[in-house]
Amino acid sequence: MKYQTGDKILLLSSKEEGTVVDIVNDNMVMIEVKGTTFPVYLDQIDFPYFHRFTQQKLVKEKPRQIPGDEIKVDRKKYEVFKTDKGMFLSVLPVYQFDGYDETVKLMKFHLFNDTPHAMRFYFQIWLNNQMDLEIKNEIQPYNHFYLADLIFESLNDNPRFEFTFFLKEPQPKLATSVKKTWKIKPKQMFTQLEELRTKAEATLTYTLFDKFPDKEPEPPAPAEQPNAKKAKPTATIGSGNFASLLSKIQLQPETTLEPKHEVDLHIEALEKNWKGMSNIAILAVQLNAFQRYLDLAISHHQHNLIVIHGVGKGKLKDEIHQILRQTPEVANFVNQYHAKYGYGATEITFK
pLDDT tens digit sequence for 81-90:
456 788 999 8
Burial status of residue 102 (CB atoms within 10 A of its CB: 0-12, 13-18, 19 or more): middle
The values of phi and psi at residue 305, to 5°, are -150, 135
- Cα atoms found within 13 Å of the Cα of residue 231, Cβ hemisphere only: 5
pLDDT tens, position by position, 18-58 = 888 888 877 788 888 887 777 888 888 887 765 555 554 44
The single-letter DSSP state of residue 303 is S
Query: In what helix (H) or strand (E) does residue 296 lie, and over which residues does it extend?
Result: helix 279-299
Residue 71 pLDDT class (50, 70, 90 cuts) = very low
- Mean pLDDT along residues 190-209: 85
Query: Is 60 exceeded by the pLDDT of residue 140?
Result: yes
Residue 283: which of 296, 262, 266 has the closest Cα?
Answer: 266
Q: Which pLDDT score is estimated for 306?
A: 93
Task: Classify the C-alpha dihedral 17-22-23-29 as positive or negative.
Answer: negative
Q: Where are the beta strands (DSSP E) in the chain?
A: 8-11, 16-25, 28-33, 36-41, 45-46, 86-97, 102-114, 119-127, 130-139, 143-151, 160-167, 177-183, 204-209, 262-264, 304-308, 330-334, 345-350
Burial status of residue 318 (CB atoms within 10 A of its CB: 0-12, 13-18, 19 or more): exposed
β-strand partners of 89:
111, 206
Query: Is 70 exceeded by the pLDDT of residue 105?
Result: yes
Query: Is 60 exceeded by the pLDDT of residue 178?
Result: yes
Residue 41: which of 16, 89, 9, 80 has the closest Cα?
Answer: 9
Query: Is 50 exceeded by the pLDDT of residue 252?
Result: no
Between CA 24 and CA 252 the distance in angstroms is: 44
Query: Is 80 exceeded by the pLDDT of residue 117?
Result: yes
The single-letter DSSP state of residue 342 is B
Burial status of residue 39 (CB atoms within 10 A of its CB: 0-12, 13-18, 19 or more): buried
Between CA 11 and CA 32 the distance in angstroms is: 10
Q: Which pLDDT score is estimated for 305?
A: 93
Residue 218 pLDDT class (50, 70, 90 cuts) = low
| Mean pLDDT computed over every residue of the chain | 78
Q: Where are the beta strands (DSSP E) in 274-336?
A: 304-308, 330-334
* All residues at 6 or more sequence positions from 212 whose CB lies less than 8 Å from its CB, including other chains: 115, 117, 165, 167, 174, 175, 178
**What SS3 class is residue 28?**
strand
**What SS3 class is residue 288?**
helix
β-strand partners of 118:
none
pLDDT tens, position by position, 280-303 = 878 888 888 898 899 888 888 889
Most confidently modeled range among 131-135, 193-197, 275-279, 324-328: 324-328
Between CA 246 and CA 260 the distance in angstroms is: 22
* All residues at 6 or more sequence positions from 311 whose CB lies less than 8 Å from its CB, including other chains: 317, 342, 343, 344
